[in-house]
Each structure stands twice: as C-alpha cells, then as structure tokens.
C-alpha cells in the first residue's frame, strides 16, 4: 500500500495543478477582456461625442450663416427701398418679412450661444426699426449706422464662434465694428 500513496499524491497534485492553471488562465483572460471592453466602450463614447459635436457645430454654422444671409438680403432691400423705392415699388419687403427672421432667430437661439442670440436679436430689432422708419427717399442716418454696426458685430461674433480667423479691422464695410 505504501507504493500507492506516492502515485495518488502525484495524481492529486497534477489534477490540482491543471485545474489551478486553467483557473489562473481564465481569470487573466477575463481581466484582459474586461479591460478591452472598457477601452472599446470608451472609444465608442468618444467617437459618438465627436460626431455629436461635429453635427452640432454644423447645425450652429447653418443657423448663423442662414441668419446672416437673411440680414444681408434685408439690408440690401431696405437700402434699395430708401434710395429707389418710388421708382421700383416691387422692392418693398413682403408684409410677413419678419416671419423668416423669427424662424432663423429660433435656430440661432437653439444652436447658438447666448451672446450670439443677443447679437442676432439686436440686429433683427434694428433692421425692423430701420424698415418701419424708412421709406422712399427718407432715411434715418443714425438708425442706418446702428443697423450696419449690428450687422458688423454679428459677423464678427459668427466668425469668432465658428473659429474662423477674424477679418482685419479695416476691412471694407466693417468700419470700427460698431465700437
């Protein structure tokens, strides 16, 4: 019987060693897999955040550019109405010309910063006042200057928020940027 004990002990150690090795290997693999899963999940979250940020930036850009284009078009129409209104009656703004402004202003409020919303609101208010106080051959120089300054400040704010290199301060039409 004494010769059987060493074989049993060796067999027990072999089985225990094998099971212990399998357990350690599985534990290391599970730890490695958990770390990989965490890293991949974080990578996906970062990618989603970048996509959301890019989409929001694009929405902001569209809102700003759309509003500025509307201000520019309205500015041209009001100026033409002041100068040539009697000769060209088709130049007058439609009765609901503020509706598009309100729609674009809502986009700026949704996607833009508070500062940009204030600049856009001020530009709209001044253009609305300028339109209501203007007529053919009738021009309020102060209101004209204020509307132009608001438009320039709006452009400067848009460029700053979108990360576009600022224009030189002496660029045509910007003057002192309403300072």
pLDDT along the chain (179 residues), means of 10: 79 88 92 95 95 92 93 81 62 71 91 91 82 56 78 90 74 48
**Tokens of residue 117, six digits:** 């919303």
The pLDDT, as a whole number, for residue 62 is 94
The pTM of this model reads 0.65
The pLDDT, as a whole number, for residue 96 is 75
Q: Which phi and psi (to 5°) does residue 68 adopt? A: -65, -40
The pLDDT, as a whole number, for residue 48 is 95
Q: Which phi and psi (to 5°) does residue 135 adopt? A: -160, 180
The pLDDT, as a whole number, for residue 179 is 40
The pLDDT, as a whole number, for residue 143 is 74
Q: Which phi and psi (to 5°) does residue 137 adopt? A: 60, 20
- 3-class secondary structure, 138: strand
């Amino acid at each position: 019987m004494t010769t059987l004990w060493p074989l049993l002990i060796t067999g027990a150690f072999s089985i225990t060693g094998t099971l212990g090795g399998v357990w350690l290997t599985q534990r290391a693999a599970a730890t490695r897999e958990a770390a990989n899963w965490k890293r991949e999940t974080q990578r996906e979250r970062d990618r989603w955040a970048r996509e959301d940020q890019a989409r929001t930036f694009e929405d902001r850009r569209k809102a700003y550019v759309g509003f500025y284009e509307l201000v520019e078009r309205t500015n041209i129409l009001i100026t033409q109405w002041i100068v040539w209104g009697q000769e060209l009656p088709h130049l007058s703004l439609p009765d609901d010309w503020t509706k598009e402004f309100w729609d674009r202003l809502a986009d700026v409020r949704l996607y833009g910063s508070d500062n940009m919303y204030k600049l856009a609101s001020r530009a709209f208010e001044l253009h609305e006042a300028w339109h209501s106080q203007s007529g053919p051959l009738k021009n309020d120089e102060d209101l004209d200057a204020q509307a132009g300054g608001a438009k320039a400040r709006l452009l400067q704010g848009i460029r700053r928020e979108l990360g576009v290199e600022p224009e030189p301060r002496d660029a045509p039409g910007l003057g002192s940027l309403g300072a």
